[in-house]
Structure 1
Amino acid sequence: MSTSFTHARATQTAPGERVDFGRRVLVVRRRGIAVRLEWRSVLVCAALALAAAGMAVLALMTGSYRLGPDQVLSALAGGETGLVHDIVVEWRLPRVAAALVFGAALGASGAVLQSLLRNPLADPGIIGFTQGSYTGALIVILVVNGTYWQLVGGALLGGMATALAVYVLAYKQGVQGFRLIVVGIGVSAMLESLNIWLVLKADLEQAMAAAAWGAGSLNGVSWDQVAIGGAAITVLLLLAGLLSRPMRQMELGDDAAASQGVRVAPARLWLIVVGVALTATVTAASGPIVFISLVAPQIARRLARTARIALAPAAFVGALLCLAADYIAQHLAPTPLPVGVVTVVLGGGYLGWLLFTEARRRL
């Protein structure tokens, strides 16, 4: 494997003035395959990974039984036994790992959809995909009373069915991003009403459990759920990485992408499937954790200073946001809250700011 750095040639236009026509790029070559990574994006991902690691240690330290950082690191390295090991590895670490993995999935899902639709409002929660996954999971919980695998299947089928319905209703000589978002908002509103009706018609005990789960919570997440969800999310993230090249070309428009050899319709279909599957996997394990998919890609784009939305920075930002939101919900709120409550508050404020700035830009 070889690694090299390249950058576009800079041109001197006037004394003291320099125009740079490119960004420094990290090129990794192995067995005839070359991967080009923007150097700033690599640094941003590394900084976000360090911040997430620090946040994870803080979360593992904090609780009714407080631990020191040396105890946490020793337990993670296998040097602790007894109560400290059980607290760190068996009780707290599954929740932290779930927040990181699920947050990365949500960030990547938002990046895929926002890049595909070329719109910063393209969030799975706004355009109905999250509500569809929630509807499928609710049917399994309240009607079928199924197992965890049935819950995963119901969430995935619900999300895919919603995506198909939105796609068909928004199709008119192609799919435009704005039309799909408007149709998705309408479908999301109808599904939300259906979800409320399902909860109201259920038994009291089932309804309370479904309502608590529907707020988006990491309470009770086990290692099995982390392992199963993590394996599925890893495969989906790899697929998203393989689709990143046609995704970038489609940002220029369908005609431009087709002129460069991209089969637009199949690529768009696969990207939607990957984006919905990432959201559905998280929804099946923890309920609908909303707004991380909306916020993470835009924060990542500003940190990396890229004109497009990159998958890796968005995934790292999503992981950090989800873990920080869960820490706030569990340890800084007056009473422990589901993580979805905190993400709604933070994401709602960001959505208001985004709508305000977009309106000012159009004036």
Structure 2
Amino acid sequence: MSRTTAPVRPAGHAVLRGGRASFLVHRRAVAVSAVLAVLLACAVVAYLCVGESFVPPVEVVRVLLGRPSPDTLVVGTLRLPRLTVALLAGAAFGVAGALVQTVARNPLASPDVIGVTHGAGAATVAAISFNAVAYDALPYVSVAGGLAAAVLVYSFAWRRGLHSSRFVLVGIGVSVALGSLTQLFLTKGDYLVAQQAKIWLTGSLNGRGYEEARPLALVVLLSVPAALWAARAQRSASFDDDTADALGVRLDRVRLGLTVLGVVLASVATGAAGPVDFVALLAPQIARRLTRTAHVPLLSAALTGSLIVVAADLLARRMFSPTELPVGVLTAAVGAPYLMWLIVRTRSRSGGTSS
């Protein structure tokens, strides 16, 4: 008699079945995502409560549920639109960082480190400084600039394969060049418009609302099916070229698809919120360390990114009140030391391996 062997389920995983489809999920990742969702909900309520005038949490919940409240103007009109941009931009940055780090197989890689957000920023600043396009078209300009920067980095880094260290180094060089180009645009444009562009470059959410949130929300929603594919494709993207060829995996196509999705998300988020630095670097690494998974879980990365941006913007609004700091200043203050620590840690590991 022949025996049928049941497929081996990896440790720490569970199978979810829905009709003919089944999904393999990591139990710890699900638990971490649930905790992050609760923390994010608490941060959202705190964000809507705190401001020039304090709004009780009960009234915040009433406004969110669409019930009549005397604080509808403060919560629903003044604070909620800005919060919406923070939530969407943080999630987009988190997923984009996870995808870029997966493709590069390097925790140092993120859209703001390898030049994607700098390309989006340079294109947007050029459009703002020279009044080249209408304000509503700026998100599309950001996507074009981010894609152009990604193509440039990918072209220079590709040498019979995509080596992670070369990818990061080329990206840093492109970032520096695009930063210089951005400064050139600022000096050549109108003075008053250039000052507005400088404020945008700091990653400030001040004045952001539903006009910026709509295109970002549309891109995020349209990216959900692609993100579901990307969650499965992450496994094959981590293979080396020889292993992928042996398994018959079209590794170049997988990496290209993940890169395009990450670049589009990061570019649109940059167009909506400005270049909020280091969120795309921090969120995936925090999510991976919390979940202890082999690959960065995209849902956890998105929730972590949203939590970072919402918490940072809340602190930026109230830390030195009535003076308001750009949210990018706080994220850079945390992200820059982390990046230096990550570089030192990566070099020490490489030195230990080579010895």
TM-score between the two structures when normalised by the length of structure 1: 0.91
Shift in alpha-carbon separation, 1:184–1:247, aligned structure 2, 3 A: same
Q: Of residues 50, 69, 87 in structure 2, which corresponds to 1:62?
A: 50
Q: Of residues 250, 254, 262 in structure 2, which corresponds to 1:263?
A: 250
Which segments of 5 or more consecutive residues in structure 2 lack a partner in the other structure?
A: 1-5
Instruction: Please state how far the C-alpha of 1:195 moved relative to its aligned partner.
Output: 0.2
Quote the residue 1:39 is aligned against: 27
Instruction: Please state how far the C-alpha of 1:156 moved relative to its aligned partner.
Output: 0.8
Instruction: Please state how far the C-alpha of 1:203 moved relative to its aligned partner.
Output: 1.5
Residue 192 (structure 1) aligned with residue 179 (structure 2): yes
Q: Is the 8 A contact 1:8 1:24 kept in 2?
A: no
Please give the residue correspondences for 1:1-363 in structure 2 after superposition, counting only pairs within 5 Å: 22-82=10-70, 84-333=71-320, 335-361=323-349, 362-363=351-352
Q: Is the 8 A contact 1:155 1:284 kept in 2?
A: yes
Computed over aligned residues only, the root mean square deviation of the Cα atoms, in angstroms, reads 1.8
Q: Is the 8 A contact 2:81 2:208 kept in 1?
A: yes
1-structure distance, mates of 2:137, 2:82: 22
- Note the alpha carbon deviations across 1:59-94, whole angstroms, 9 max, x for none: 100011111111111111122244x11111111111
- Note the alpha carbon deviations across 1:34-76, whole angstroms, 9 max, x for none: 1211111011001000000000100100011111111111111
* Partner-residue secondary structure (3-state), 2:226: helix
2-structure distance, mates of 1:260, 1:235: 30
**Counterpart code for 2:52:** S
Instruction: Please state how far the C-alpha of 1:148 moved relative to its aligned partner.
Output: 3.2
* Partner-residue secondary structure (3-state), 2:275: coil
**Counterpart code for 2:119:** G
1-structure distance, mates of 2:234, 2:13: 19
Q: Is the 8 A contact 2:94 2:304 kept in 1?
A: yes
Q: Is the 8 A contact 1:233 1:281 kept in 2?
A: no
Q: Is the 8 A contact 1:246 1:262 kept in 2?
A: no
Q: Is the 8 A contact 2:140 2:268 kept in 1?
A: no
**Counterpart code for 1:280:** S
* Partner-residue secondary structure (3-state), 2:266: helix
- Note the alpha carbon deviations across 1:247-293, whole angstroms, 9 max, x for none: 21121223223333321112111111111101110111111111011
2-structure distance, mates of 1:283, 1:210: 13
Greater alpha carbon shift after TM alignment, 255-264 vs 66-75: 255-264
Greater alpha carbon shift after TM alignment, 23-32 vs 325-334: 23-32
2-structure distance, mates of 1:70, 1:266: 50
**Counterpart code for 2:334:** L
Which segments of 5 or more consecutive residues in structure 1 lack a partner in the other structure?
A: 1-5, 10-21
1-structure distance, mates of 2:223, 2:284: 17
**Counterpart code for 1:39:** R
2-structure distance, mates of 1:152, 1:99: 15
2-structure distance, mates of 1:360, 1:26: 36
Q: Is the 8 A contact 2:130 2:190 kept in 1?
A: no
* Partner-residue secondary structure (3-state), 2:39: helix
Instruction: Please state how far the C-alpha of 1:144 moved relative to its aligned partner.
Output: 3.7
Shift in alpha-carbon separation, 1:44–1:246, aligned structure 2, 3 A: same
Q: Report 1 or 2 for greater relative contact order, CA contacts < 8 Å, sequence distance ≥ 6.
A: 2
* Partner-residue secondary structure (3-state), 1:243: helix
Shift in alpha-carbon separation, 1:333–1:354, aligned structure 2, 3 A: farther
Over the matched positions of the two proteins, sequence identity in percent amounts to: 37
1-structure distance, mates of 2:245, 2:73: 55
Displaced runs of 4 or more, over 4 A: 6-9
* Partner-residue secondary structure (3-state), 1:195: helix
Instruction: Please state how far the C-alpha of 1:8 moved relative to its aligned partner.
Output: 6.4
TM-score between the two structures when normalised by the length of structure 2: 0.93
* Partner-residue secondary structure (3-state), 1:221: coil
1-structure distance, mates of 2:113, 2:106: 12
**Counterpart code for 2:59:** Q
Q: Is the 8 A contact 1:7 1:23 kept in 2?
A: no
1-structure distance, mates of 2:29, 2:179: 37
Greater alpha carbon shift after TM alignment, 96-105 vs 139-148: 139-148
